[in-house]
Structure 1
Amino acid sequence: MKARITGAYDTAVGELPGSSCMGLHSEAALGAIADAGLKRGDIDGVICAYSFTEPHLMLASVFCEHIGIQPNVNFAIQAGGATACIMLMQAAALVESGMCRHVLIVTGDNRLTGMGRDGAVSALAEVGHQQFERPYGISVPASYGLVAQRYMNEFGATPEHLAAIAVQHRTHASRNDKAQRREPITIADVVSSRLIASPLRLLDCCLISDGGAALVISDPRAMDGGMRPRIDILGTGQGHTHEHITQAPSLTDFGCKQSASRAFERAGVRAQDIQVAQIYDSFTITLLVELESIGFFEKGEAGLAAMRGDLDLGGRLPCNTHGGLLSYAHSGAAGGMFHIVEAVRQLRGDANGRQVSDARLAFVHGDGGILSAHCSAVLGRV
């Protein structure tokens, strides 16, 4: 028996004045529960993530108190951008073990209006090993810049190859009325935008956003069937190789190779079988190296593939069809959850204006830290 995604919802994204962590959590949660055709009392498991604007040691308990749920199982997970996929994996395990019938996984933060620029920059700066990295001024963009420099040196990639990733995401976002940034950009726009951490420029970097998203994962035996397409969690996997970038065994191969391999094996499929992918894209280089480490493209090919349009609708691998973190939105752990919600919409056939034709098999991936924590999932319409 495979656990099933029965409810999916994401809030408006971008700049949402007056929004709050708990407000976004509540809207997303109630939306996902309603989408599943359930009531709050049906939820017997809750998993939350974390918040930068309303940090709390027991955020999941705060949320349940706030919304009036008293589940049998309740906890929070913190794994950076891998959080949402790990939440999905844990929810599936709870359902398949028989411990829960309906698990709500929920994320949300008002990072754009609730933190401000100084708060966001400060959060990005407080990374790295306290003894061996932080004294030298490392930051999240600088760490990914290090990965980009090594990749470009080893495989001959150019800034234009990175830029093609950003342009493709903006093209996807232009088809999505909810996306935070929809105005067209060109490769020339990306390579001439402000330098952030060489070789990464402003348009190589993800957005900072307000927003929330949630899913309900259910035991199919607890549902009445209905007319909606059924979305099963066919296989999941994790991969962890390091925490600090100075300890990474490679700067061009990462734990997504292991996590994807495990998810594919458990699902009984191959990378070539995937029809649509939603893969974490905190920076253009993030997606580029993950596409290759996972096995969708050979080393050095992903940038060229983006330039050819292989990641577009009708291409070899439509990827991040909502616009991704680069153009749709990035609101902390909700950023990764947006990817899963988009996969559900694609498999349901509900991705208006950006639908991949007859999508039946989707791949979702989350990456936390500096390409540190990885979790992959294969979803299928049955």
Structure 2
Amino acid sequence: MARSSSGRKSTIYDIAKATGSSTSAVSMVLNGTWARYRIKEDTAKRILASAEQLGYNVNMKARGLRLSRSGLAGMILPHYRNRFFAGLAENFEEHARSRGLCPIVVSTQRDPAVELSVTETLISQQVELLFIAGVRNPTPLDDLCSAAGIPCINVDLPGPGAPSVVSDNRGGARALADALMDKMVARGNAPGELLFLGGVTDEYATDMRIAGYRDAFEARGISPAADAVECFGYDASSSRRALARRYDTLGRLPAGLLMNSITAFEGLVQFASRLPQDAWQSTVVGCFDWDPFAVHLPFEVTMMRQDVQKIILEAFALADSHDASARPVVVVPTGFGEMLDEDEPGSKSGYVG
């Protein structure tokens, strides 16, 4: 601590007296926890200015306010249970650190109340930017960020209140459906029997993937069956039950299955484990998601991979050039499972993992 004008060391009591604040408020500002206790920013700045004038040693967290930088970058996402969201988080952390920022990633389990609470907390900690990933309705969160003057980017699911970066869900689903139909024809099955299972009705990603699936049918001049599309959510247990119903009705597995997520695909794998291996020989399976462990399954699966690295790069580019009046939607192409990282093994012959 420095000396006051009387020659003694300055204390928080001197700062409190100079600013008309309580000693507890001064302490919270100086240790960087002022926002958590809802101390006004003007008060915090006045305390910091007084501390500097009196020569009081202010820690780095408090100095962040004086410099108008917290050094924090925030991201919320539904969960870490699949490789897509885990990959988004990992790439976000890497690129945030490369910009000298400390990343904070929080999972919200798709609970709107948790999403709102976490966003409010991150804003109170003065994050310099916020990525909102996999939120079905990001508008309330975008509005909070806008009011606080914090750049935010919607990732995976778009929203009208902020720039968005999404996968090419429609184009990817059409390419995947086309590939599966070609395999069905090669096995002597009718391509019109391809089913689309999983996802949430009226959610952007699911709706776009269903549109791509239907595009593939339209291009061939055929139509899917009335019950070919079944949206039961993303969880494995619902997927397993849906497949069991189809199996009981048909007395066999459907000729073609396009699963709308890796978690829905997990339900398929669980159901498959109950059947003899030859039950899968005439069934074509695809998944709009990717996991390298799929190459080790006893049946062939074609997977559509989303480019998490490109998604995060595009999101940071939008954050770097943030324009509060602009709401672009950047669409990132998808690719089959052979679009692998250099440090990951290639797919097995006959498999796209």
TM-score > 0.5 by shorter chain: no
TM-score of the pair, normalised by structure 1 = 0.25
Larger Rg: 2
